Amino acid sequence: MRCPFCGYSDSKVLDSRPADDGHSIRRRRECQDCGKRFTTYEKIEVLPLMVVKKNGQRESFDPNKLLVGLIKACEKRPIAMEKLEAIVRDIEKELLNTMEREVTSEKIGELVMDRLQQLDAVAYVRFASVYREFKDLQTFMHELESLLKKTITEK
């Protein structure tokens, strides 16, 4: 850290403590050359996660949008809100851990469907019908049949 008084490039840290509700670190430093003291703040740089939509448009990832979609899919189902919030946190964490700065909406949809399939079959079918944009009864029935086959093999 360069001294703001003399420009010397080496300083000694005298004190470190959390600042800004734990979102940054306040450090009290002393210049090794001139002996003057100064304060620095360190913040974690978080790059926004961008979602690439089907039409090519990009927007920031919004966990609240994901939660709203889950709530709609799970409407009138015996699923606690805490479980839906946990799914959102889990998906967001998984996406951030990939270290990719852009993710497709298709990838997010598949992650949601994987979790809903394990949680509730009705919510899964509701979400899949909107996400996969079933055009006719045949494609809807095909999805139901594959879900039934998977359920039978797991038992």
Asked if residue 6 is part of any domain, the answer here is: no
Asked if residue 145 is part of any domain, the answer here is: yes
Mean pLDDT of the chain: 88
Task: Compute the distance between CA of residue 103 and CA of residue 96 in angstroms, rounded to an integer.
Answer: 10
Domain count, the chain: 2
Asked if residue 124 is part of any domain, the answer here is: yes
9: tokens are 């490039």
Q: What average pLDDT does the segment 122-137 reach? A: 78
Q: What average pLDDT does the segment 122-134 reach? A: 80
| Same domain (yes/no): 77, 128 | yes
Residue 155 has a pLDDT of 61
| Same domain (yes/no): 127, 70 | yes
Residue 98 has a pLDDT of 86
| Same domain (yes/no): 28, 99 | no
| Same domain (yes/no): 24, 99 | no
Asked if residue 25 is part of any domain, the answer here is: yes
Residue 38 has a pLDDT of 97
Q: What average pLDDT does the segment 125-129 reach? A: 83
pTM for the whole structure: 0.64
| Same domain (yes/no): 77, 61 | yes
Q: What average pLDDT does the segment 87-115 reach? A: 92
Q: What are the DSSP calls for 93-124, one per residue? A: HHHHHTT-SEEEHHHHHHHHHHHHHHH-HHHH
State the residue range of the domain holding 97.
50-154
Residue 135 has a pLDDT of 67
Residue 151 has a pLDDT of 67
- Model confidence over 42-98: pLDDT tens digits? 987 777 899 999 899 999 999 999 999 999 999 999 999 999 999 999 999 999 888
